[in-house]
């Protein structure tokens, strides 16, 4: 495993120039995610229209993996329904943790995160934004769970 496989150009690019970065007012859901192990912190805000994510933005501070993962996530879920977004989370989770995960064409640019699974200590960096998104989506349901942590 080479570092270049972890820090692929897509990751470096999204770390340098994170997409959909910043606040979103007004938002239908806003949830802060926190990784106490490394101090990474990010807030995901989103708008829903007819159960579809019509807009999503994030802000916070984190390592390159966490920032790029959040940036890629916002691009990938915009326009998807709540259920589709959560299904995508499952696929990303497999990609990050399961060596036997089949190559996932439908993941598109998110596939750039596959190098992370060789670095178990970094899986939480890549998944923090997704846990936060899942929590944000659930918070728009009747039984809401406001805070999320990867510890």
Partner 1 sequence: MSNIAVADRNLTFDVNAVRRQFPVLARLIRGRPLAYLDNGASAQRPAAVIEAVDDYERHHHANIHRGVHTLSQEATALYESSRDRLVEFINARSRHEVIFVRGTTEAINLVAQSYARPILKPGDEILITHLEHHANIVPWQMVCEQTGAKLVVAPIDSSGDVHVEAVVSLMSPRTRLLACAHVSNALGTVLPIRRLIAAAKARGIVTLIDGAQAVSHLHVDVQELDCDFYAFSSHKMYGPTGVGILYGRERLLECMPPWQGGGEMILAVTFAKTTYNSLPNKFEAGTPNISGGIGLGAAVDFLLGMDRDAAHAHETALLEHATKALGKIPGLRIVGTAKEKASLVSFTVDGVHPHDLGTILDEDGVAVRTGHHCAMPVMDFFKLPATARASFAFYNTFEEIDRLAAGVERARKLFV
The three-class DSSP label of residue 145 is coil
Strands 40-49 and 52-61: antiparallel
**Beta carbons within 10 angstroms of residue 141's beta carbon:** 10
- Residue 38 lies near partner 1 (rule: CB under 8 A): yes
Q: Residue 107: phi, psi to the nearest 5?
A: -75, -20
* Interface segment toward partner 1; rule CB under 8 A; list 22-30, 35-43, 74-82, 104-112: 35-43
Window 90 to 129, contacts with partner 1 (CB under 8 A): 119, 121-122, 125
Q: How far is CA 46 from CA 30, 55, 70, in A?
A: 7, 6, 13
- Residue 74 lies near partner 1 (rule: CB under 8 A): no
Q: With contact defined as beta carbons under 8 Å apart, do 43 and 74 qualify? A: no
- Residue 9 lies near partner 1 (rule: CB under 8 A): no
* Interface segment toward partner 1; rule CB under 8 A; list 34-42, 77-85, 89-97, 134-142: 34-42
* Interface segment toward partner 1; rule CB under 8 A; list 12-20, 51-59, 90-98, 134-142: 12-20
Specify the residue, 36 or 108, whose C-beta has the smaller distance to partner 1.
Answer: 36
Q: How far is CA 136 from CA 14, 58, 118, 140, in A?
A: 22, 12, 28, 7
Q: How far is the CB of 114 from partner 1 (least distance, A)?
A: 16
What residue ranges bind partner 1 (CB under 8 A)? 3, 6-7, 12, 15-16, 37-41, 61-65, 119, 121-122, 125
């Amino acid at each position: 495993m080479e570092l270049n496989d972890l820090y692929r150009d897509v990751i470096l690019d999204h770390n340098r120039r994170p997409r959909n970065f910043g606040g979103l007012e007004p938002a239908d859901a806003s949830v802060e995610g926190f990784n106490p192990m490394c101090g990474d912190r990010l807030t995901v805000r989103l708008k829903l229209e007819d159960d579809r994510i019509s807009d999503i933005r994030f802000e916070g501070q984190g390592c390159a993996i966490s920032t790029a993962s959040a940036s890629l996530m916002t691009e990938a879920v915009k326009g998807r329904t709540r259920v589709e977004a959560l299904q995508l989370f499952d696929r990303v989770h497999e990609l990050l943790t399961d060596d036997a995960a089949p190559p996932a064409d439908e993941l598109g640019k998110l596939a750039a995160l596959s190098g992370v699974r060789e670095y178990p200590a970094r899986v939480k960096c890549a998944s923090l934004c997704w846990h936060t998104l899942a929590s944000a989506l659930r918070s728009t349901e009747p039984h809401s769970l406001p805070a999320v942590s990867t510890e």
